[in-house]
Amino acid sequence: MTVSVQKATSRAAAERAEPNLLKWAPAVAFGLLLLSLSRHAAAGISDPDTPWHVLAGRYLWDTWQFSGPDPFSRFTTGPWVLNQWLPELIFAAADHVGGLAAVAWLAQVGRLTVCLLLYAACRRQAGGLPAALVAGVAVLGTADSLSPRPQLVGFALLAVTLDAWLRTTTDVRPRWWLMAVSYVWSCSHGTWVVGITVGIAAVAGLALDRRIDLRAAVRLAAIPAGSALLAVLTPVGPALLGSFRAVRAVSPYIQEWRLPTTPTPSVIATATLLLLVPLGWLLARRTFSWTTLALWLVALAWGVSSMRTVAVGAIVIAPLAASALNAMIGRPWMAASRGERGFLGLAALLAVALSAALAAGGPRNQTGVPHAFDRTLAAMPRGTVVYNSDLLGGWLMYRYPGIAQTADTRVELYGPSSARDYLDVMAARRGWEQGLAHFAPAAAIVEQHLPLVDALRTNGWQERGRDAGYVLLIAP
């Protein structure tokens, strides 16, 4: 009897000996997690970025211009590069069909897809129990970033890319279709660069492990190199690379780009998964692998870069952590059965259907915004300048296109100087009057706890109402 036949026989025997409860419990638990996530569809859209992503899709449907002057604000200074245009087109189509409720459902489908692909990547490296446990923790690690934005597409394609490279580290076969995946990815979100780093790490690890010769290394390295080349051949062109510089320039002023020093659940979950891999080496006495170390370093680097990339670290580390946990448990790995795959597929379909029903019965308008100001805003003459919190910029653009908002979450379009002035005005620091006078606003809508509110009242501004944590003030 050959070694492969012996392994297959032992795995089959172990599978027959495993109680049905242990065999099905992990898949059932993860299926219930998918169903529980559907509740987010009932909450509607509260993310401040979603409205302007919808508007970007509408603009692209009408003009097919992928870069140029910003059509939605007179106060931006940089060119608007639509580097997330593919999901934005889909967002706009969903909004056209069913409004923001349809966008909320679409976003929930994206979340479910990310979770399923995470589980599939973990399951390919480990048995059902460790795969379900690690995938569940990884979902928690991505929770802060599973918002209704194009990044959902990026997370899903990252899980696909990572799984493919892990298979390549096993059979050393080049998967050329990854370049097509990367092309679609570079049309969807800036996280496409993560896929490049994963590919480079996998090739470097295989070379250091002496599992490939120079010729094979060059063939495999052609995949991330070709992916990087294809990125500049998208409709956006080389401007796609320039958009990274614009974001980097304003990142010190964006809360999402701060270092992950706060012990949030997502940070704790990702850190736990990062620790599982070296624990697997120590406790399970696993053979050292440069490939695993290289991918672990990629996960660590992205995980600690910023709060926004914690989710990236969680996705990259998840399959490695699942494999480590599987080794620590000491149970034989068995591939997912047809029944397990069918059950999870059914759970996913039920979750999609439930999400549709909840989204249809949920809010039709954006939530978390001051709708009590609707009548006042609607009565303002076209072109009225409203000094606003950047969190309300997308809502004003979407709901009141005739109003000239002064800020939104596309901070890179306003530039670092405007970002500094915005923070100074909101904090009513010395010289804030000049920063505000630059816009000559007729009204202001800002968070009611900000020092600016008292400063405006002192200067004769009149309060007209409060709602959702915001205050509306009219200029004297």
10 domain-assigned? no
**pLDDT at position 444:** 97
Alpha-carbon Rg for the chain in angstroms? 25
Angle at 314 between CA 312 and CA 320, to 5 degrees: 120
By the 8 A CB rule, do 338 and 356 touch?
A: no
- On whether both 380 and 285 belong to a single domain, the answer is no
Instruction: Report phi then psi at 169, rounded to 5.
Output: -70, -15
> CA torsion 209→212→216→221, rounded to 10°?
-10
By the 8 A CB rule, do 29 and 130 touch?
A: no
- On whether both 283 and 413 belong to a single domain, the answer is no
CA distance 53 to 104: 13
366 domain-assigned? no
**pLDDT at position 170:** 94
Q: Which long-range contacts (CB under 8 A, 24 or more apart) does 352-357 make?
A: 352/108, 352/109, 352/112, 354/35, 354/38, 354/41, 355/38, 355/40, 355/41, 355/105, 355/108, 355/109, 355/112, 356/41, 356/105
What tens digit of pLDDT does each residue of 152-202 get?
999 999 999 999 999 999 999 999 999 999 999 999 999 999 999 999 999
Last residue of a domain, one of 317, 337, 358: 358
Sign of torsion, CA 314 296 129 280?
negative
By the 8 A CB rule, do 134 and 276 touch?
A: yes
166 domain-assigned? yes
Domain count, the chain: 2
Both structure tokens of 222: 């052609």
Side by side, which strands form the sheet with 385-388? 404-405, 385-388, 443-447, 470-474, 462-467
By the 8 A CB rule, do 394 and 48 touch?
A: yes
- On whether both 194 and 89 belong to a single domain, the answer is yes
363 domain-assigned? no
**pLDDT at position 3:** 38
Both structure tokens of 105: 């459902």
Instruction: Report phi then psi at 202, rounded to 5.
Output: -65, -45
Range of the domain at 220: 20-358
Mean pLDDT of the chain: 92
Last residue of a domain, one of 330, 358, 386: 358
- On whether both 72 and 214 belong to a single domain, the answer is yes
447 DSSP β-pair partners: 470
Both structure tokens of 388: 């606003």
**pLDDT at position 18:** 52
Spans of the chain, pLDDT less than 70? 1-22
Give the global pTM.
0.92
**pLDDT at position 332:** 73
- DSSP strand pairing (462-467 vs 443-447): unpaired
**pLDDT at position 249:** 87
- On whether both 335 and 437 belong to a single domain, the answer is no
**pLDDT at position 88:** 98
**pLDDT at position 154:** 97
**pLDDT at position 425:** 97
C-alpha 417 chain-centroid distance: 27
Q: 278: buried, middle or exposed (CB in 10 Å: 19+, 13-18, 0-12)?
A: middle
What tens digit of pLDDT does each residue of 374-414 get?
999 999 999 999 999 999 999 999 999 999 999 999 999 99
Last residue of a domain, one of 329, 358, 387: 358
How many residues comprise the chain? 476
3 domain-assigned? no
Residues of the chain by 3-state class (helix, strand, coil), percent to 5: 70, 5, 25
169 domain-assigned? yes
**pLDDT at position 262:** 79
